[in-house]
Structure 1
Amino acid sequence: MLKEFKTFALRGNVLDLAIGVIIGAAFGSIVSSLVNDIITPLIGLLLGGINFSGLQATVGDAVITYGVFLQSVIDFLITAFAIFMFIRLINRFKHKEEEKAEEPPAPSKEEELLSEIRDLLKQQNNKPS
């Protein structure tokens, strides 16, 4: 059983997943800081410091704080947009690297020489006798 657990725990997929979770958590804190410390204050300045958290309605004895919900939706949209822009930037760099990798390397001198020999042999074989 210990051997099976070791095999399971050290499989590539499990390690990749663990690394992804750790990096995802670190990335999440970066995005949260970007949204909370940079983007949200700038939007607050543009909108005159509007905060929907205080909006509420009373129905009987229940207090419905729909403003907190609205603020959460706005925070989600800001976070989603920030992640979208970040991923878009990363994909743009990735795409440029892929374009560089797709360019075939120039043929070596040996390949050029072999191509010439091949072409000459084709010409000789196609000549009428």
Structure 2
Amino acid sequence: MSGFKKFLIRGNLVDLAVAFVVGAAFAGLVKDFANSFITPLIALLGGKPDYTALAVTINGTKFPYGIFMTSAIAFIITAAIVYFLVVLPTTKLIERMDRGKEATERECPQCLSDIPVRALRCRHCTTELVPSAELPR
């Protein structure tokens, strides 16, 4: 039983659980934002994107492709919201924060692998390297 307790309390599992709960809450937030603001804007321009009634019947079997179309449109809207309101600003913030940091790796001119800046030999292809001028020895 103690092994099971350690498994449940281990950092990775707790982090995963927290990420799942926050992700679920965030998904609800994005969905409500899309339903409250984005979908009405689209309805102003071209009508409400609800195609759930669209279907085709072949040999008596109904294929409701409109349900898929509505879900696909909702997915695209949600993905755009997440990209423009979360991913893009976060990427810009990380770039801004990393501007002043010094490089810790460089590219091997022979095999193009990442190696430490101060390395004198590539760990991948064993090419002898010229010491980098970026960091003092």
One fold, TM greater than 0.5? yes
Matched residues in 1 for 2:46 and 2:36: separation?
16
Matched residues in 1 for 2:43 and 2:19: separation?
33
Q: CA deviation at 1:64?
A: 1.9
Scaled by the length of structure 1, what TM-score is found?
A: 0.67
Gaps of 5+ in 2: 103-137
| Structure 1 match to 2:47 | 48
1:58-114 per-position Cα deviation (integer Å, ceiling 9, x unaligned): 2232222222221111111111111111221222223323336x38xxxxxxxxxxx
Scaled by the length of structure 2, what TM-score is found?
A: 0.64
Q: CA deviation at 1:50?
A: 4.8
SS at match of 1:35: helix
Higher percent of residues as helix: 1
Evaluate the alpha carbon distance shift between residue 49 and residue 22 of structure 1 in structure 2; reply closer, same or farther with a 3 A threshold: closer
| Structure 1 match to 2:88 | 88
| Structure 2 match to 1:78 | 77
Evaluate the alpha carbon distance shift between residue 68 and residue 57 of structure 1 in structure 2; reply closer, same or farther with a 3 A threshold: same
SS at match of 1:52: coil
Evaluate the alpha carbon distance shift between residue 59 and residue 8 of structure 1 in structure 2; reply closer, same or farther with a 3 A threshold: same
Matched, 1:10 2:9: yes
| Structure 1 match to 2:98 | 98
Matched residue type, 1:70:
M
Q: CA deviation at 1:14?
A: 1.1
* Higher RCO structure, 1 or 2 (CA under 8 Å, sep 6+): 1
| Structure 2 match to 1:21 | 20
**C-alpha RMSD of the superposition:** 1.9
Gaps of 5+ in 1: 104-129
Q: CA deviation at 1:12?
A: 1.1
Evaluate the alpha carbon distance shift between residue 35 and residue 50 of structure 1 in structure 2; reply closer, same or farther with a 3 A threshold: closer
| Structure 1 match to 2:64 | 65
The alignment of Structure 1 onto Structure 2 pairs a total of residues equal to: 101
Matched residue type, 1:91:
T
Matched residues in 1 for 2:50 and 2:2: separation?
56
Evaluate the alpha carbon distance shift between residue 50 and residue 80 of structure 1 in structure 2; reply closer, same or farther with a 3 A threshold: closer
Identical aligned residues as a percent: 35
Higher percent of residues as strand: 2
